[in-house]
Amino acid sequence: MQENQPSRTSIYAAIFRALHQTVDEDPKILADWIASRLIDVSSGDYQVRLAECEQPRARVARSNIVLRGRYAEDCLGEAIARGVRQFLVLGAGLETFAYRQPPWASALQIFEADHPATQAWKKEKLAMAGIIPPPNLTLSRFRPTQIVTTLRRIGFSRVEHFTPEQARQRYFIERGDGLAGLDGGQVTQLMRAIV
């Protein structure tokens, strides 16, 4: 991650999700009809991945991204059935679940946390695509070292004192390198706060 620059890896992940909609067979593993609206199909990044999309290595990389997305969303559906009401995506990048959420997610409070530069860039892309953030979404900038404070501020439950019942009501995913800036102690502190 470079300060003041949106995440490069989040661009690649979004390109893979977009390519999955057009170059992979049906049924799709992850039906993400918004991904292509957040990427620039004239960019070199996209064109290179399109040109090599049938290569075995490219298919594996694309599968990795769409499978982990599908798995997380399936688990989220099960978690909602168990009573989960808060969903945090740490290092959200250009992920689109909140903007294409199914009706079963409407009772959910969704939090997207990301580096300020990536988040500002995503907001611009959403606005340019005419995509309006849903009312059950809270966007939060975060720096790994301040994550517990940030979660408390945005209302991701009460991160220090929660009952077992409250703890069961939260679901958290981290996909990518959102925890990369934390040392072991900070990861432990974060996990104690949210799991």
Ligand X SMILES: C[S@@+](CC[C@H](N)C(=O)[O-])C[C@H]1O[C@@H](n2cnc3c(N)ncnc32)[C@H](O)[C@@H]1O
The contact set with ligand X (CB under 6 A) reads 1, 7, 9-10, 13-14, 91-95, 114-115, 118, 142-144, 175-178, 180-181
- Helices H / strands E in the chain, number of each: 7, 4
Residue 168 or 177: which CB sits closer to ligand X? 177
Whole-number minimum distance, CB 147 to ligand X, in Å? 9
Render the burial of 10-47: b for 16+ CB within 10 Å, e for the rest.
bbbbbbbbbbbbeebeeeebbebebbbbbbeeeeeebe
Whole-number minimum distance, CB 12 to ligand X, in Å? 8
Whole-number minimum distance, CB 45 to ligand X, in Å? 14
Residue 11 or 79: which CB sits closer to ligand X? 11
Whole-number minimum distance, CB 120 to ligand X, in Å? 11
Whole-number minimum distance, CB 37 to ligand X, in Å? 14
Q: Which residues, in sequence order, are CB contacts of 81 under 8 Å at separation 6+?
A: none
Q: Which residues, in sequence order, are CB contacts of 109 under 8 Å at separation 6+?
A: 85, 86, 87, 136, 138, 155
Residue 20 or 178: which CB sits closer to ligand X? 178
| Pair 193, 148: CB distance under 8 Å | yes
Residue 93 or 159: which CB sits closer to ligand X? 93
Residue 48 or 167: which CB sits closer to ligand X? 48
